[in-house]
Amino acid sequence: MDVLAYASPAAKAPFERTTVQRRDVGPRDVLLDIKAAGICHSDIHTGRDEWGPATYPLVPGHEIAGIITEVGSEVTRHRVGDRVGIGCLVDSCRTCEHCERGLEQYCLNGAVGTYNSTGKDGLPTYGGYSAQLVVDQDFALTIPDALELDAAAPLLCAGITVYSPLNHWQASPGKQVAIVGMGGLGHMGVQIARAMGAEVSVISQTRSKEEDGRRFGAEHYYATSEDGTYKRLRNRFDLIINTVSATLPMRSYLSMLRLDGTMVNVGAPSEPMEVPAFSLMGNRRSWAGSSIGGIPETQEMLDFCALHGIAAVIEKIGPDQIDEAWDRVVASDVRYRFVIDTTQIT
């Protein structure tokens, strides 16, 4: 079936309204009308070839919220009219050890990305900057009624990407947790870590987001542009979640970990970062990474956010404003997630 979308025809080229081909609804598929799509910094890394050459035309978007309009004959999980979310994955092998544990993001046979991938139907995958999407029922998450669709969309990537490591490394009462970078991922990290009961600090470049950081639940707020910040924070945190899209001076950040503390990298800069061995040896520190989250944990995160009244703080834009929004994300000038009103893609 032909579907309207906004696509980038080549690396760094402006978006154009176009038509892409998706498969027809199969027995286990659902078709949704996309109501909102978040803009993740990963869309930009991909569309500017910062992670290597992408496949064009590129229709990004893996923070998708919509309403089901058709279901295949064997679909049992969803019904027409259901509010669903699609994140970064649209398929995986489902039989490997990791898939069996609900860790589809680490599928040993390669999960299928929502865009810039090839689906099991042999077609290129196209993401949420689009009017409609066909997806296997198992990769459509239920969006609880308590969440608005547009503010829920960013949870499908930004939310789960910070929820998963906060959960795994047990952000909880008595733990000192720092969130580095308060953009799309970071502002979700502050809210979720606080709801898990941890004492939360924001480490931002400037003081410009301080009031918001405290409103999201941070008890402490630090600006790295101020002299002495790194020194002041030595041996301070149990867990640091680094959401920054650029490289950081790792020596300074690792020195902030107290005994047995862990710094988790979720930010994905294109350039490598240097980690001196001595920065890890002191205080028996760990440096780890984490990638999005599996399907069961993503549903758990959506339910957790609904229960705690947490959602993304968004700036809604029309599809004709995507290029401008991308530039503003790169300039750290977004409060705190752009969401495209995909109902305007007509």
Please report, as ranges, the residues that interact with ligand NAP according to CB under 6 A: 40-42, 45, 157-158, 161, 181-186, 204-205, 209, 243-246, 266-268, 290-292, 329, 332, 334
Helix extents (H) in the chain: 41-47, 97-100, 149-152, 158-168, 184-195, 210-216, 229-232, 250-254, 277-281, 295-308, 322-330
Q: Which does 22 bind (CB under 5 to 8 A by kind): Zn ion, ligand NAP, none?
A: none
Q: Which does 128 bind (CB under 5 to 8 A by kind): ligand NAP, Zn ion, none?
A: none
Q: What is the largest CA-CA distance in the chain?
A: 63
By C-beta, is 262 or 283 nearer to ligand NAP? 262
Q: Which does 107 bind (CB under 5 to 8 A by kind): Zn ion, ligand NAP, none?
A: none
| 157 belongs to the binding site for Zn ion (CB under 5 A) | yes
Q: What is the DSSP letter of 187?
A: H
* Least distance between Zn ion and beta carbon 88 (Å): 6
* Least distance between ligand NAP and beta carbon 181 (Å): 3
By C-beta, is 106 or 230 nearer to Zn ion? 106
- What is the distance between the alpha carbons of residues 133 and 10, in angstroms, rounded to a whole number? 22
| 54 belongs to the binding site for Zn ion (CB under 5 A) | no
| 40 belongs to the binding site for Zn ion (CB under 5 A) | yes
* Least distance between Zn ion and beta carbon 157 (Å): 3
By C-beta, is 125 or 137 nearer to ligand NAP? 125
Q: Which does 268 bind (CB under 5 to 8 A by kind): ligand NAP, Zn ion, none?
A: ligand NAP
Buried (b) or exposed (e) across 305-344, using 16+ Cβ within 10 A?
Answer: bbeeebbbbbeebebebbeebbebbeebebebbbbbebee
* Least distance between ligand NAP and beta carbon 215 (Å): 14
Strands 220-223 and 199-204: parallel
Q: Which does 46 bind (CB under 5 to 8 A by kind): Zn ion, ligand NAP, none?
A: none
Q: Which one of the spans 12-20, 156-164, 239-247, 281-289 is the region binding Zn ion (CB under 5 A)?
A: 156-164
By C-beta, is 131 or 253 nearer to ligand NAP? 253
Which residue, chain included where needed, has tokens 């599809």?
319
Pick from 38, 42, 118: nearest CA to 86: 38
* Least distance between ligand NAP and beta carbon 280 (Å): 20
By C-beta, is 40 or 54 nearer to Zn ion? 40
- What is the distance between the alpha carbons of residues 287 and 280, in angstroms, rounded to a whole number? 8
Q: Which does 68 bind (CB under 5 to 8 A by kind): ligand NAP, Zn ion, none?
A: none
By C-beta, is 62 or 83 nearer to Zn ion? 62
- What is the distance between the alpha carbons of residues 11 and 177, in angstroms, rounded to a whole number? 37
Pick from 304, 334, 310, 339: nearest CA to 191: 310
- What is the distance between the alpha carbons of residues 150 and 111, in angstroms, rounded to a whole number? 26
* Least distance between ligand NAP and beta carbon 184 (Å): 4
- What is the distance between the alpha carbons of residues 272 and 343, in angstroms, rounded to a whole number? 39
Q: Which one of the spans 41-49, 103-111, 132-140, 297-305 is the region binding Zn ion (CB under 5 A)?
A: 41-49
By C-beta, is 58 or 292 nearer to ligand NAP? 292
- What is the distance between the alpha carbons of residues 338 and 324, in angstroms, rounded to a whole number? 11
CA atoms within 13 A of residue 84's CA, in its CB half-sphere: 31
Q: Which does 134 bind (CB under 5 to 8 A by kind): ligand NAP, Zn ion, none?
A: none
Binding site for Zn ion (CB under 5 A): 40, 42, 157
